[in-house]
Amino acid sequence: MRLSIRTLRSALAELVPDRTGAAASAAIAVIVTGAFAGSAMAQANLDALIKAAKAEGQVLSYWAPVETVAKRTSDAFTAKYGIKAAFIRFPGEGSLQRFASEAESGTYAADLMFLSGTSSFRFAQEGINKGWMDPVGGANLPVVASGEFPAKFNRGATALLQLLPWQMTFNTDKIRPADFPKDWPDLLNPKWKGQILFANPRCCTVYQEFFKMMLDKYGEKFLSDLGAQTGRQYPSGVPAVQGLAAGEGWITLPTVVPQVQAVRAKGAPVDSVMPAFTTGIELHLLLTARGKAKNPNAARLFANYVMSQEGNKVLNDDPGGFSMYDTARLPAQYVPADTEATKQNDRIAKLLGFPK
């Protein structure tokens, strides 16, 4: 735990308004002593966890983010602690299905999981009730006990590790940058009719979360009017971005930076705008129950690493994603993803014109 001068002054002001004399010195001594004691305890807990994790020697995780992120983070953990970190990547919500199938058969291959979308949070809650998982907030992680990890991103059942805001993307061969829409309502301009490419919101929870945000802000008529602007429909976001790059339309939404970079790196004429009002793909950390996991201590050390400022920076070392320690640059009106968005799935899809 690092005790800042600001923290000292704030605490001292409450105890001794004029911050002078023997009372002030006593107040400082109490604060500093308590801080060092807490820091020493947190370090002792971390040292014990490292020792137990090294005795296990390995950890296996399931990932939803792209393989480069999983490999970079796993390799950095191994380099730091000398513990082999293997991973398996499943696109979309494949990890949830795999883990549930294994758990129901009494097999627990993954020690922890890194999954996107609020479906991950609901799955963790259900898994805790079934004894499959442990709440991250109750796992006694040193990074939580020390206060290093920002408390607002500790959701109890899970912890957030990354925020990836949604944006809209354009084919620059079709639209000049000066003419780009700047906000979501601009997409209803008649000149975009038939030129907007959409991914089916039924494909993934994260798309449902985005359109639920739009529904709450702008209402049903906005979504139905937006659906009327559709040029082509796609089963998911990646082919929609690829279709935009191929000139099958002029605009696609929602997109995230990694999707766009993947086609831009191949020479595609695309660019994006991120409105101030948006939500995003939120990456959750889930922990297999201590009594079920093959490597529970290594799992907790890995969790502690990715929740620390050091490890979280490694995980987020790509453009577009925001670390839990660097959220000041988020869009001004960023709103957390709605955990109840899936309940509106059919309603949203119907308003946008997607058949069942």
- pLDDT of the residue at 66: 84
Indicate the SS3 state at residue 312: helix
**Burial degree of 169 (CB within 10 A; 0-12, 13-18, 19+):** buried
pTM (predicted TM-score):
0.84
Helix ranges (H only) for the chain are 5-15, 21-56, 67-81, 94-104, 118-130, 142-145, 205-218, 220-227, 237-245, 257-264, 296-307, 309-315, 345-352
Residue 326: in which H helix or E strand, if any?
Answer: none
- pLDDT of the residue at 5: 42
Hey, what amino acid is at 151? A
**Burial degree of 281 (CB within 10 A; 0-12, 13-18, 19+):** buried
Instruction: Pick the closest to residue 114 from 305, 295, 248, 353 (CA basis).
Output: 305
Grouped pLDDT means (10 residues each) for the chain, 356 residues: 43 44 53 54 90 98 92 98 97 88 96 94 96 96 95 96 96 94 96 95 91 96 96 92 96 93 93 96 97 98 98 93 93 92 92 90
Q: What is the rounded CA–CA span in Å between residue 352 and residue 224?
A: 5
Within 8 A by CB and 6+ apart from 76, the residues are 305, 311, 314
Residue ranges per domain, the chain? 1-56, 57-163+281-325, 167-277+338-352
What number does CATH give the domain 57-163+281-325?
A: 3.40.190.10
Helix ranges (H only) for 82-191 are 94-104, 118-130, 142-145
User: Looking at domain 167-277+338-352, does it have CATH number 3.40.50.300?
Assistant: no
Q: Do the domains 57-163+281-325 and 167-277+338-352 sit in the same CATH topology, yes or no?
A: yes
- pLDDT of the residue at 15: 41
Phi, psi of 79 (to 5 degrees): -65, -35
